[in-house]
Amino acid sequence: MSHRSIVFVSLLSLVMMILAVILGSGLIDVPETPTSPEDPVIPPIPEEYPFDNEIPDGFTLDLERNVLSAEDTVTWHVFDMYHTFMQDRYTEYSGYEVTSDHLDLSPGGYSITVGDDEFEVRIAGDVERTFSWKYRLDDSVQTVSVTISIPMEDLMEACDSNRIWNDRMISTHTYMPFTSLPELVVVDDTVRSLESALKMEYIRVGGDVEDRQGYADFLASFVQLAVKYPSTVSGKSFDYYVWGSDEYWCVPLETLYHGIGDCEDTSALLCALYLVAGYDAAMGGHSGHVFAGVVIDDFQERVLVDYSYYKLSYAYGITGFDVSGNPVFGDTLYRSVETIRGQLPVGYLAGGNSNLDKKTFWGYAGFYPVSG
């Protein structure tokens, strides 16, 4: 061996010895042995993710891209757990199918079936809802529109909890009592952001929020005109279209998510908006109908041209019951607000006060104050 070769080998040995010392000291991180192609690569779960999804073997869930993947091409049957019960007036919702090696999911909750595997997946994130309607302001008609974001984790929590509440109410009562109506009025961040958006729209079209009766009319128009009344299903109640139940009382977030609600649903939503806007509010009821109530100082009668059947309606709120079961009235006077009959101003109700302060199948008719 030449002298140059001996020097080169000696230098190479010295370098290898130095590297061994450095690696042994931990100064350089040594990458772990890569997984074999057969081992699934599971994407990391984002920190503080609100749902604990349990995914069967053979599938991976990428929560950064909201993609559910399989090892091969499969047929996914996807059932949106927060869809309306009916697809349309005549067809019950049954989900949809996708044939692919992956499934793109939007924020929501899903029941997934692939072959013999059945599991649930909940995806966090916001969904947007836009509401538009025509509002009559003085002698003009204005197009009004608001867009809100609903966090799916909030919607799921509200809906899951309220389904339990409704089941309990139905199982323990032969009816849904008026005394339980205030429990529907839930104020959350979505309701607060909605009221803020409505206020800006009211100002934009020329309204004055200092006109408390005028602004109360505008807030009422949102539930009257922008929220749809449930479609009829032959032989079923209005609640059946959305919930598959003869009777279901919604909290505001559920009504906003679907954009659909009957009288008690829209009344609860309007009461929540009134509370955020600084009004005193109450849930009202008489035989077969629920409506909202609001306190308006210096109330002024309106001229009703298209709604002559509706009369002035007001009553003091029911604050409790005496030992004989008769209502005890407070000193707060509430004005009735219809929530499902077109743009009807505050203070009017079909039949006026004739149906208030009477005992009905659902309890005493009247106003039940809410606190949110």
pLDDT in tens, the chain (372 residues): 544 444 444 544 554 555 555 445 554 444 444 444 454 455 555 567 889 999 999 999 999 999 999 999 999 999 999 999 999 999 999 999 999 999 999 999 999 999 999 999 999 999 999 999 999 998 899 999 999 999 999 999 999 999 999 999 988 887 889 999 999 999 999 999 999 999 999 999 999 999 999 999 999 999 999 999 999 898 888 899 999 998 999 999 999 999 999 999 999 999 999 999 999 999 999 988 999 999 999 999 988 877 778 899 999 999 999 999 999 999 999 999 999 978 999 999 987 777 788 999 999 999 999 998
- What is the pLDDT, as a whole number, of residue 157? 96
- What is the pLDDT, as a whole number, of residue 43? 52
- What is the pLDDT, as a whole number, of residue 45? 53
**How far lies 127's CA from each of 24, 45, 189, 259, in Å?**
52, 21, 14, 13
- What is the pLDDT, as a whole number, of residue 6? 44
- What is the pLDDT, as a whole number, of residue 9? 43
Identify residue 348 by its one-letter amino acid code. Answer: Y
- What is the pLDDT, as a whole number, of residue 67? 97
Cα gap 174→165, rounded to integer Å: 15
Cα gap 317→357, rounded to integer Å: 10
- What is the pLDDT, as a whole number, of residue 359? 92
